[in-house]
Amino acid sequence: MDHSVHNKLISFIWSIADDCLRDVYVRGKYRDVILPMVVLRRLDTLLEPTKDAVLAEVRFQTEEMEATELDDAPLMAESGYVFYNTSRWTLKSLQSTATNNQQILLANVEEYLFGFSDNVKEIIACFDLQAKIRHMASKDVLLDVLEKFVSPNINLTPNEQIDPDGYKLPPVSNLGMGYVFEELIRKFNEDNNEEAGEHFTPREVIELMVHLVFDPIKGGLPDPLTIYDPACGSGGMLTEAQNFIEEKYPVKSENRTSKRDIRLYGKEINDETYAICKSDMMIKGNNPENIKIGSTLSTDEFAANRFDFCLSNPPYGKSWASEQKNIKDGTDVIDSRFRVPLNDYWGEPAKDGFVDATPRSSDGQLLFLMEMVSKMKSTAHSPLGARIASVHNGSSLFTGDAGSGESNIRRYIIENDMLDAIVQMPNNLFYNTGITTYIWLLSNNKPEDRKGKVQLIDASLLFKKLRKNLGDKNCEFLPEHIAQITQAYLCGKSIERTKNDNDEPIGLASKVFNNKDFGYYKVNIERPDRRSAQFKQELIEPLRFDKALREPMEYLYAQYGESVYQKGFLKTVENTTLAWCEENDITLNTKAKKKLLDIENWLKLRNIYQMAAELLTEFGDKQYDNVNDFKEDVDLKIKRLTELKKAQKQEVIKITPAEKKTILDAVSWYDENAHKVIKKVVKFKQDKLDELLQHLGCEQADLSDFGYYATSNKNEFTTYESNSDLRDAESIPLNYVSTNQEANTNNSEIHQYFLDEVQPHVGEAWINLDSTKIGYEISFNKYFYQHKSLRSMSEVAKEIINLETKAEGLIADILGVSLTKIQG
């Protein structure tokens, strides 16, 4: 559609809101009326030419066939579309026969709406159009709105019209109507200070996506072919892909060109945009039943479908917490779309064969990517396989540590060789966000020369500035930019970025990586715990109280003393205690409240304290710098106290090993000069030792690097307690290569990295190999950063002097005196 015609049409529709709705709706609600009325008028214009034929078919079915229910198929055949209207009315006849009686007009309009086929009625319901119609009728503006929409000065039909002055009004194609829908959405949202691009993606971005998806296989497109968008919005991504294919890649046979069978599928959660999308599908002759409403994440609407292509711009930074109940049961993922088969470091599968592939609840964009991955048509069903283009922000590239849902998603996609390329786009390219965005390209049937590789394209500096911002959008891709990016992708090779005369990077850059380049091992490096210990009253006093409930328990004990241990007493002070907690901003959930007022919990803690108090009496103020000796002495003291009390027939204090550990932890502290804390001494039989060596992938002489320290006895080793505060997590590349010429080539990447990078600096550290997790992340900044040389000191000094001179000159002008006089 001609740009001037498009703008004129938008302006006319925009004026309807100002002329008719100003006193009926607040400005932010204009769109609630105008958008459904545009859709309604468009459908109405399409049905006008076949109105008489449809009514004749209705009479035939009801009078001659005596049908109690109308048959859809003949009515659709007569209308020429997959929808129809069986009422006697059109919008023009409603307006031309209307009187000043709003009730009669309202009844006629409702009869007209009721005459639509069920698929249009669903659209009307999603727009809540009947309620809007009634409201306009009650405010006496319904007829005014109808007059505007059927005005001979506006053409919303697919055919050329003549206005009252004899001028031609160009037709509005189905594609042009799609542009009108989306421009109206943008203008209404922008005018209402909402997110201007919430419902659609810039056209040039969609054009780039479809080039990247379809150009590599233009000679092998299937027919029919299917395209799916799990967050389809108003359908722009789907229809633009369809238009592109029909224009660029028609089906050619012998001497004629035929239309390709393209089947569009989508799902949308927003009622209004769903209604626009579905009506757009009807208008363009697509099957509207393939567009579903509802949450893509909560319900797998297309569980039985597999698609040739998926294109989407899913919402990012949007919480999916409300949908977790449909995806997870506690920590278990119950939706097969979001579980993936991944092995651990040793190649062993997870307990049930699958690992969690769900991101954090605050951002669900990767769930949409996994939804598309689950819907890819396999090469067994199509030689082409399937291809995906999906827009994401930077979070999808690197958020989530090794073993997290986000990392598992990246790992699954990359290790299965589905990630083909990622294109970084400029900031401020989208209407509703200024952040950096990326197009992910996936394929489950990569060409031979791209297998095992991923191409990263940095197009962040490739754009043209807009004269006027559209929401957050202040730049755009030109056709030559799209061609340049597409060619770089098709070439599949590295491209160095150039620089201008100011040493600033310009243009496009591309780099090709092996799949493994993005992977890493996350391994804990442990250091031994060294502790000193001493019984002190101030150290054992907190043992009366639960760590999580220390404040309220201290309050209760300070207020009521030993009374808190009397049965039933805590219930009598419940309200007072909870009131004190509220006053002191202490929030307790139901479980915590129950525990706070549980006499058994109080008695259990008092038991621990009393044992510690008796040990304090036994040990006095003796300090130990060897906790191993201290533990042995504590065990001996407890044993002696128990035997003594039994002999004296006194009540014996019994504590569990866990409670004893609580006491030991309370009276000991880290001391770098103290002895290492021994965890245990283990003696292996040879077969068990061999199993351990195989598990760790090392020689017996290297066992100390993994926390096993040989004693003087054969096959006997000491292990030490680790200190969590000194623990360090190292990220080790999957393809780590040592620069040490004497490196043992038989060592694993983890072991060699430890020998190169850790042991020289921390001699007593060891590798906790059982903590190893595999992660994947992609960092554009790391791969494409270009250092800009710092200016010389002389250049900086010269600039400072120039600025000072300018400043003095400005002051002289303000004061009205000469610069030489000031300097004198």
661: Cβ contacts below 8 Å, ≥ 6 apart: none
* CA–CA gap between residue 388 and residue 377 (Å, rounded): 11
Q: What is the pLDDT of residue 812?
A: 64
Q: What is the pLDDT of residue 4?
A: 64
Average pLDDT, the chain: 89
Q: What is the pLDDT of residue 809?
A: 67
**Is the predicted pLDDT of residue 53 greater than 70, yes or no?**
yes
Query: pLDDT: is 805 or 719 the higher one?
Result: 719
* CA–CA gap between residue 765 and residue 745 (Å, rounded): 22
In this prediction, residue 129 has a pLDDT band, given cuts at 50, 70 and 90, of very high
* CA–CA gap between residue 611 and residue 637 (Å, rounded): 11
Strand residues in 291-399 grouped as ranges (E): 291-293, 309-312, 328-329, 332-333, 339-340, 355-356, 387-393
In this prediction, residue 818 has a pLDDT band, given cuts at 50, 70 and 90, of low
**Is the predicted pLDDT of residue 819 greater than 60, yes or no?**
no
* CA–CA gap between residue 776 and residue 787 (Å, rounded): 26
Long-range contacts of 163-172 (CB under 8 A, 24+ apart): 170/1, 170/2, 170/5, 172/1, 172/9, 172/42
Task: Report the CATH number of the 203-319+360-517 domain.
Answer: 3.40.50.150
Q: Is the peptide bond before 224 cis (omega within 30 degrees of 0)?
A: yes
Return the exposure string of 355-386: e unless at least 16 CB atoms fall within 10 Å of the residue's CB, then b: bbbbbbeebbbbbbbbbbbbbbbeeeebebbb
What pTM value is reported for the model? 0.85
293-302, 368-377, 494-503: segment of lowest average pLDDT = 494-503
Element holding 577 (H helix, E strand): helix 574-583
Q: Mind listing the pLDDT tens digit for each residue in 252-302?
A: 766 656 778 899 999 999 888 899 889 888 888 889 999 999 999 999 999
The percentage of residues in the chain with a pLDDT greater than 70, rounded to a whole number, is 94
Which residue, chain included where needed, has tokens 């995806």? 327
Which two tokens mark 627?
A: 């906790």
Q: What is residue 495's three-state secondary structure?
A: strand
Q: What is residue 618's three-state secondary structure?
A: helix
Q: What is the pLDDT of residue 797?
A: 87
**Is the predicted pLDDT of residue 824 greater than 60, yes or no?**
no
Which two tokens mark 782?
A: 């790391």
Q: Residue 393: which of 369, 347, 415, 424 has the closest Cα?
A: 424
Q: Which residues pair with 475 in a beta bridge?
A: 465
Other Cβ atoms closer than 10 A to 102: 18
Q: Mind listing the pLDDT tens digit for each residue in 587-623?
A: 999 999 999 999 999 999 999 999 999 999 999 989 9
Q: Which residues pair with 732 in a beta bridge?
A: 521
* CA–CA gap between residue 175 and residue 177 (Å, rounded): 5
Q: Are 359 and 405 in contact (CB under 8 A)?
A: yes
Q: Mind listing the pLDDT tens digit for each residue in 70-128?
A: 999 999 999 999 999 999 999 999 999 887 788 899 999 999 999 999 999 999 999 99
CA 211 from chain center: how many Å?
25
